[in-house]
Structure 1
Amino acid sequence: MRFHSRLLRALLLSALTWATVTASHAQSGEGPLRIVVGFPAGGSADTIARLLADKLRLDFQRPVLVDNRPGAGGRIAAMALKGLPRDGSVVMLAPDALVTTNPLVFRKPGYEVADLVPISLVAEFAFAFATGAETGAKSFPEYVAWARANRPRADFGSPAPGSPLHFIGLMVGKDIGVDLVHVPFQGGPPLLTAMIGGHVSAGINTLTDMLEMHRNGRVRILAVPGSTRDPRIPDVPTFSELGFKQVVARGFFGLYAPAGTSAASVERWNAAMRRVLVLPEVRQRLGELAFDPKPSSPEELAKKAKDETAIWAPVIKASGFSMD
């Protein structure tokens, strides 16, 4: 009986100690951190988030988890972020569209740009215009000739309606004098499948998603809308070189916290990102994925979003496009 009493006291003491330690960890902020991603596992955004999580874990000396909340081009994650803790334990990796074109094409996107507190620019990336099996074009002038001769079949796909990629296609169509019909897809993989199968004559996507298929000959990248040629495909011209000076665009990923997160927490994340994004192994891996790491201050990220919005606003207004 005395043994059972001692055992009971030991168990109670152990439980009390565990509870005290757990409460202490919670109060001192030693639990896991989270990076919310609005896209499925395996995609480019998820790949970047997991690369960052692996390095930030060492920097913060805390677990860093990737929380995938896919859907609606990242809007579901942005809407979810509003209800998540504001104690510095949660951030979101988001593409440019969430803070540039989405607020211009959705009257009710489900969130406000003000709901997303800028932390740091993460990476910039190139876009690419490519064709698949249908046209047989090996250069952009050849594609233009095909499109002008086959206007009813001249269309283009993008991974999401209302994205910068969508509006790049409209700009290209306007400049070549062909009313290219937009065909929206739910992500890059279905678009590539349609291009390879000849179900859509052209596609505009991130260079990241197009690069491998271009290298193995399944699709052919004809032009990039960057200000300079991309070093990963140096033989592919820019639209500016081809005479289309207005078709210039690049995308970016940024890191954001929920509104209400303290300035100290934002600064802690920003400092960690500045350290992680200059690591040689991180820069190498991002480069292999066709991303260019670009750490920044919160103010620089906010300004970039504002400047990009100003660029896209007249393009979107002229198109008359709206999602609701």
Structure 2
Amino acid sequence: MVLKRILGQGLEEECDGSSAPSESKRSRLVFAGMREFMGAQCMQRHLSKLEPFLRRVVQEEVQNALNHHVRSAPGLPTTTLSQPTITKHYQLLFHNTLPHTIYTGSRIEAEGGVPVQIMIVDSCSKSIISSGPLASTKIEILALDGDFGGENEWSEKYFVDNIVRERDGKRPLLTGELTISLSKGVGYVNDATFTDNSSWLRSRKFRLGARVCPSKLMEGRVREAVTEAFLVKDHRGESYRKHHPPSLNDEVWRLEKVGKDGAFHKRLAKNEIYTVQDFLRNLIMDPSKLRCGAWCSSHL
């Protein structure tokens, strides 16, 4: 205690043989000690209230100094450090689904033979971004490994690591119009083709990917779009491809379980059933003609 320390000093002086202080001097020492003691007590009592104020003042001065330094530094943005930039999250999406099998040399189309549609949306609301710079940005179409495993979320590095390039000595894996421009947040893949099959990959499948082309005007990352995995077969097998759904003018062997130039196909031709329309007509008008052979039992 402060008071004890001052009184103790007076006692030490007496013990040392020095002349005893007068009564008035002793009183002055006592009163000085009491004032110092009371000042220390007051400071301790109000220190907890002063600390937040002092901390805030120091923080504001440091912040002002940093802001002044940033504004005066050449080539740096003049945004205020105390106001953090809030970045919205956007992503690309393939709107329609690709077929399970695509053939080399054929235009990549979605199911139903329609163009593949891609759009840019708000990650939270999934609403299309129809205005602003992102609504007309350029998109790059890429081939990805079928084993791409980031169905829910992935990093930009993981996406890049799964891009598949052509094999040595082969043509570019994807050809055609591979850079498209969005219009009001929507774009179409109208002319893209695979030049090689997917049998040489471990997964034996590809995926189609899309990412925003780099731009100086764009801030932050727009998450890439990825389709489901699909097979890519050589175009020589396209002549034997089944149609889903088949059209009336398709040859009858386009139906499932009817092989081209197979036994069923030959028997159907012998009964003058050449097209899908012929098959349906006989199924409705003369089903006995179809039931006469075991070859058609699987279609009834």
| TM surpasses 0.5 | no
Pair member with larger Rg: 2
Structure (1 or 2) with the greater helix fraction: 1
The two structures have a TM-score, normalised by structure 2, of 0.26
Higher relative contact order (CA 8 A, sep 6+): 1
